[in-house]
A and B are shown apart, each in its own frame.
Chain A
């Protein structure tokens, strides 16, 4: 169950092109599992920005000198993240978390491939730790536009049997996309399950490559959210349910982790005709 707490910035650091923020947020760290996210108020009490900003949780420390802490990675996209990037230790932040459905863990000791795009690797690193503790084999595939937009490759290397890195500009690893090297990794490692987090186009490619091989893929999607807690209905995407019926589902509470073969990637950003409650072509009103 999520909580809303008044947190305090413990530390801020730059990691390549990204910012890493650690917040003392009692009650959140203890409940967090890999794949959960936090939603933060931005701009202070009199802010003109009314909506929360959501970030996948990277690292948590359940207790320590300062109590439970939560660390997340972000890049400055707009006014809200620019405000966050300007926070300093001891600044107060209103935090809600942990939110969403985390990655589901496999039963038994399986071979897992973890695919991260940009700072989408952030929630995969704690996942790798949990998988390793369970005796799973972990292989990483990390990709980004350039070397400064890779995140966590050293930790990933330390926690995995192998790591493949791609960059669009070739500044690190192979020049290209994760989807260029993923087939070989899946085949070479005898992969049983794929976990992925990153841009939607990457998640789609990963889901398709896994599906071609009959490998289940769990992907954490990135949809813009207003609340993060399931009340605003803005972060929806078309997903096929267990009953075979497609619905517009909230990525904040039903996700952000979905089975890759259930997301209707072609139809993201639209309302397909066969989704539950879709407008009939003759009637208006939607």
Chain B
């Protein structure tokens, strides 16, 4: 029974890789964050691992007023994922500042505060409330929550509306605090929305929010969710998320991306980095594995080391390179999932 041990994922040493990452002028010690709506405001997860070990804690989207959210059932498990229709339940910005952000600041965590509103003015007010708050490292503007009755309120589906919100937040946020806009994959051209947000002042982009989905109970022959439709998350959406990160990075190679969507392991995180993400959020996986963020951090560090990277920065967007220019400098002798070595051309005998 000696193999039965309490998990202390954070206790193992990290390999010697520079994991620091820059997001809109702010340097974070490492690129693994929680995901909005999947970690509350960090206190619950701090029971399982030291949340200050993460790059940052992305809090559940907060609105101006307290919000009850939608009726239950709010959740349906789906293949390699889940649908949720929480509906932005939260205590409102005042209680959040007093209890949650204050706690994160005391704890020494880097808080990425996600904000959501029903109007441009709501977002502007939320940004103002956050000015000068200790602990605030970044603002994530949730313009893409699918759990609203009026799909017209999904600002991220309209480049003009997205830009208006981002501009209002950027104008009302301390200049040293980066503003990231969280994009929806449920659009025809995500790069166009991304460009619109960046032109409006976004320092970076969070890619992606959930996909709008639905499940019907074949016994009751009714929708499972109280909110009828919900946001799909988890590994089921990972290829969509990687594609979105790829497209946004291709269109805007200098804009930092916080990538998320179904990350479960360090190799999943590496996929996002290679597609162009400077950092990643671990979301739905936390529900099944509360220590997942710190585990992903360690796995990512080892995956980078195994591939001969001394710095995370060198891996960002590397999948976009033309095939011929990259040769690993110091191929690692161990590990069976490393990049293939450059082979010598094979000569063949002439046909007789």
Contact = CB atoms under 8 A, between A and B. Distances in A.
A230 B75 contact: no
Given A48-B79, A223-B72, A248-B69, A231 B44 contact: yes
Interface in A24-77: 24, 26-27, 41, 47-52, 66-67
Q: Which 10 A-B pairs have the closest CB atoms?
A: A277-B66, A234-B75, A227-B287, A284-B149, A277-B68, A277-B67, A230-B44, A48-B80, A234-B74, A278-B68
Nearest to B150: A284
A224 interface: yes
Contacts, number: 160
A51 B235 CA distance: 12
A96 interface: yes
Contact of A24 (B4, B77, B90, B235): B4
Nearest to A284: B149
A67 B86 contact: no
A6 interface: yes
B290 A271 contact: no
B234 interface: yes
Interface string A1-34: 1111111100000000000000010110000000
Chain A interface residue number, banded: 35 or more
Contacts of A7: 4
A108 interface: no
A285 B235 CA distance: 28
Interface string B56-84: 00001000011111111111010111101
B38 A231 contact: yes
Given A4-B291, A271-B71, 17 more contacts: A1-B47, A5-B7, A50-B235, A50-B287, A51-B288, A230-B44, A231-B39, A232-B75, A232-B86, A233-B37, A233-B60, A233-B86, A248-B89, A271-B70, A277-B68, A284-B153, A285-B150
Contact of B148 (A50, A96, A286): A286
Counting chain A CB atoms within 10 Å of each CB, the highest count among B3, B70, B75 belongs to B75
A52 B89 contact: no
A237 interface: yes
Interface of A: 1-8, 24, 26-27, 41, 47-52, 66-67, 80, 94, 96, 223-224, 226-227, 229-237, 247-248, 253, 268-271, 275-279, 283-286
B74 to A, nearest CB: 4
Interface in B228-271: 234-235
A226 B289 contact: no
Contacts of A269: 71-73, 226
B87 A50 contact: no
Contact of A231 (B67, B75, B150, B287): B287
Contacts of A6: 3-5, 7
Given A230-B40, A236-B72, A52 B288 contact: yes
Contact of B81 (A26, A41, A50): A50
Contacts of B284: 50
9 contacts: A26-B6, A50-B288, A51-B82, A229-B44, A231-B44, A232-B84, A236-B89, A269-B71, A271-B69
B79 to A, nearest CB: 5
Nearest to A42: B288
Contacts of B28: none
Contact of B287 (A4, A24, A48, A52): A52
Contacts of A51: 75, 77, 82, 287-288
Interface of B: 1, 3-7, 37-40, 44-45, 47-48, 60, 65-75, 77, 79-82, 84, 86-90, 92, 118, 147-150, 153, 226-227, 234-235, 284-291
Nearest to A48: B80
A279 B148 CA distance: 11
Contacts of A286: 67-70, 87-88, 147-149, 227
Contacts of B65: 277
Interface of B is mostly: loop
A118 B3 CA distance: 36
B44 A253 contact: yes
Contacts of A276: 66, 68
A230 B60 CA distance: 12
A47 B78 CA distance: 12
B5 A234 contact: no
Counting chain B CB atoms within 10 Å of each CB, the highest count among A50, A80, A248, A285 belongs to A50
B290 A4 contact: yes
B89 A50 contact: no
Counting chain B CB atoms within 10 Å of each CB, the highest count among A6, A80, A226, A231 belongs to A231
Contact of A285 (B39, B71, B80, B118): B118
A234 B87 CA distance: 10
A277 B285 CA distance: 28
A35 to B, nearest CB: 18
Contact of B6 (A5, A224, A232, A283): A5
Contacts of B68: 247-248, 271, 275-279, 286
Contacts of B3: 6
Given A52-B288, A286-B69, A234 B86 contact: yes
B71 A4 contact: no
Nearest to A94: B289
Contacts of B67: 277, 286
B185 to A, nearest CB: 19
Nearest to B90: A277
A231 B80 contact: no
Contact of A50 (B71, B82, B88, B92): B82
